[in-house]
Amino acid sequence: MGRTLIEVSRLTKEFRVERSRSPSLFSQVRRVLWLGRQTRRLRALANVDFRLEHGQSLGLVGNNGAGKSTLLRVLSGIYRPTEGTCRVDGTFTPVLELGVGMIGELSVRENVFLYGAMIGFRRADLRRRFDAIIEFADLQEFVEARVKELSTGMRQRLTFSINAQLDSDLMLIDEILAVGDRNFREKCDEVFRQRRREGKSLILASHDLDAVAALCDRSVLLHHGEQRAFGPTDEVLARYTAGIA
């Protein structure tokens, strides 16, 4: 048995959601004053359990609202579990919302150094990797353009290109395989394949089952926040596509 990278035990995540009220002036005043405020608990994850070793990759599959993105955010430390535990033994790169963190008024060049510093790069490393980042994102003609002048797809490519340069044990990926054109998706696939050749891990939440099958050793099937299956990817995907959830 290899060295454990991630161990999740009886993981549950709940959110407090305010019940809807009539839009009367009185109800709005009560809400502002926190008088008679009513909330309910929304359970996004319930008793999730799995273990992943260093070098293994994990797919997260399930319909919309199954809890895949919530689980990624718990694993990355954005959300804290309501119950249970989540332990990660290694460094990780969360690639969850591409384009978020870029400053529109700054140039592409300036954003590479600012965003790169935010996610843990040293300035010397960014200088050394700058040309590779720009080439990967195919933004050679836009280095001095302000980010707000770029298309959404171009901003997303830039964000991923910077993250792809981080040498972490684990990359957490949320549906980014739909980003960009065919050429860029092929570049992303090669990044993931190269990481696997180097013994790195990834966790991929995706509706692209072909990508999950190609990149992930093991998978978790979620249904309304509940874990319905965990095991070899081919077995989990067979259960999912057969509608057994």
The confidence score (pLDDT) of residue 10 equals 95
Q: Are residues 73 and 127 in the same domain?
A: no
Three-class DSSP category at 164: coil
CA dist 130 and 143 (Å) reads 10
Domain boundary among 151, 167, 183: 167
Q: What's the gap between Cα 60 and its chain centre?
A: 11
Q: Are residues 121 and 190 in the same domain?
A: no
Check: CB of residue 199 under 8 Å from CB of residue 181.
no
Domain boundary among 143, 167, 191: 167
Residue holding tokens 């718990």? Answer: 74
DSSP string, 111-159: HHHHHHHHTT--HHHHHHHHHHHHHHHT-GGGTTSBGGGS-HHHHHHHH
Check: CB of residue 121 under 8 Å from CB of residue 166.
yes
The confidence score (pLDDT) of residue 239 equals 94
**Domain membership flag for residue 97:** no
Q: Are residues 86 and 184 in the same domain?
A: yes
Q: Are residues 81 and 182 in the same domain?
A: yes
Tally of CA atoms within 13 A in the half-sphere of 56 that contains its CB? 20
Q: Are residues 175 and 234 in the same domain?
A: yes
Number of domains in the chain: 2
Q: Are residues 121 and 212 in the same domain?
A: no
Q: Are residues 184 and 221 in the same domain?
A: yes
**Domain membership flag for residue 124:** yes
**At 64, which amino acid appears?**
N
**Domain membership flag for residue 96:** no
Q: Are residues 63 and 161 in the same domain?
A: no
Q: pTM score, two decimals? A: 0.83
Q: Which residues contact 22 (CB under 8 A, 6 or more apart)?
A: none
Q: Are residues 207 and 244 in the same domain?
A: yes
The confidence score (pLDDT) of residue 184 equals 84
Question: Which residues constitute the domain of residue 229?
Answer: 1-91+169-245
Q: Which residues contact 215 (CB under 8 A, 6 or more apart)?
A: 57, 59, 189, 192, 193, 196, 202, 204
**Domain membership flag for residue 116:** yes
**At 207, which amino acid appears?**
H
**Domain membership flag for residue 72:** yes
Domain boundary among 167, 182, 198: 167
The confidence score (pLDDT) of residue 90 equals 87
The confidence score (pLDDT) of residue 99 equals 67
Q: Are residues 75 and 21 in the same domain?
A: yes
Residue holding tokens 């003609």? Answer: 141
Q: For every one of its 245 residues, what pLDDT tens digit does the chain have, with 9 covering 90 and above?
A: 578 999 999 999 999 877 655 566 666 665 666 555 567 788 899 999 999 999 999 999 999 989 999 999 999 888 999 999 999 998 888 888 776 778 999 999 999 999 999 888 899 999 999 999 999 999 999 999 999 999 988 888 899 999 888 888 999 998 765 556 778 888 888 888 898 899 999 999 999 899 899 999 999 999 999 999 999 999 999 999 988 65
Check: CB of residue 203 under 8 Å from CB of residue 222.
no
**Which is it for strands 170-174 and 92-95: parallel, antiparallel or unpaired?**
parallel
**Domain membership flag for residue 214:** yes
Q: What is the CATH number of the domain that holds 72?
A: 3.40.50.300
Q: Are residues 41 and 13 in the same domain?
A: yes
The confidence score (pLDDT) of residue 183 equals 82
**At CA 161, angle to CA 192 and CA 7, rounded to 5?**
45
Q: Are residues 110 and 159 in the same domain?
A: yes
The confidence score (pLDDT) of residue 35 equals 56
Q: How many distinct helices (H) and strands (E) make up the chain? A: 8, 9
CA dist 163 and 157 (Å) reads 10
Partnered with residue 17 across adjacent β-strands are 40
**Domain membership flag for residue 38:** yes
